[in-house]
Amino acid sequence: AQSVTQLGSHVSVSEGALVLLRCNYSSSVPPYLFWYVQYPNQGLQLLLKYTTGATLVKGINGFEAEFKKSETSFHLTKPSAHMSDAAEYFCAVTKRGSQGNLIFGKGTKLSVKP
Amino acid sequence: EAGVAQSPRYKIIEKRQSVAFWCNPISGHATLYWYQQILGQGPKLLIQFQNNGVVDDSQLPKDRFSAERLKGVDSTLKIQPAKLEDSAVYLCASSSGQLLQETQYFGPGTRLLVL
């Protein structure tokens, strides 16, 4: 069965600092991978996704993630945090060859200090 | 382009009562999903529709939850009777097709509190 592990339920960074949110997955076949962001009292918004091709994926708001098959990881990064980045971030996976339901991690809440 | 619409945004009921949530997906989107998001957890799929047919309802507690998507557009999710553990945010999402890599677009959710 597939699963997604997000290390750290809460990450706090200073404004301008590097943001690193960790995601590891378990899957018997290479999956499709997604990062979603959820602002308070809002639905989820897609930040970026990896399906095929280049393993470094760029998304919205300056975020990017790198698919590393050998490490079964898909960590999310942003070089310089902004106050508006404060939100909850979810990593998700879907399995090739299946009906493809998204399996979400438990989420990481990002706080940005001024 | 209008996003996924959901109503109501908030609902408070007592246990054993019934409740219904409504979702209007993005126009033209064939696939519609209902997720349950319990506090502190990621969303969990309850049911997936392709047009007006059910693709996956394996995680839907069918003794109390039901969902329909008449005419392949709007959808309603019902809980009857509600339990305390049903307190959660119910998210509706839609995508244009059924391909695994397609983006799902989420509505703002309905926050349910069962007392």
Q: Are A86 and A29 in contact (CB under 8 A)?
A: no
Query: Hey, how many other C-beta atoms are within 10 angstroms of the C-beta on B50?
Result: 17
CA–CA separation, B25 and B52 (whole Å): 13
Residue B79 to residue B77: CA distance in whole angstroms: 7
Tens of pLDDT, residues A3-43: 899 999 999 999 999 999 999 998 777 788 999 999 988 88
DSSP letter for B103, please. Answer: P
- Which of A44, A46, A60 should we substitute to test contact with B (largest number of B Cβ atoms within 10 Å)? A44
Residues of B within 8 A of A9 (CB-CB) are: 40
> Residue A112 forms beta bridges with which residues?
A13
Residues of B in contact with A92 (CB under 8 A): 42
With an 8 Å Cβ cutoff, the interface of chain A facing chain B consists of 4, 9, 32, 36, 41-46, 49, 51, 90, 92, 94-96, 98-102, 104-107
Q: In chain B, pLDDT over 90 holds for what percent of residues? A: 77
Report yes or no: A107 and B42 within 8 Å, Cβ to Cβ. yes
Q: What is the pLDDT of residue A100?
A: 60
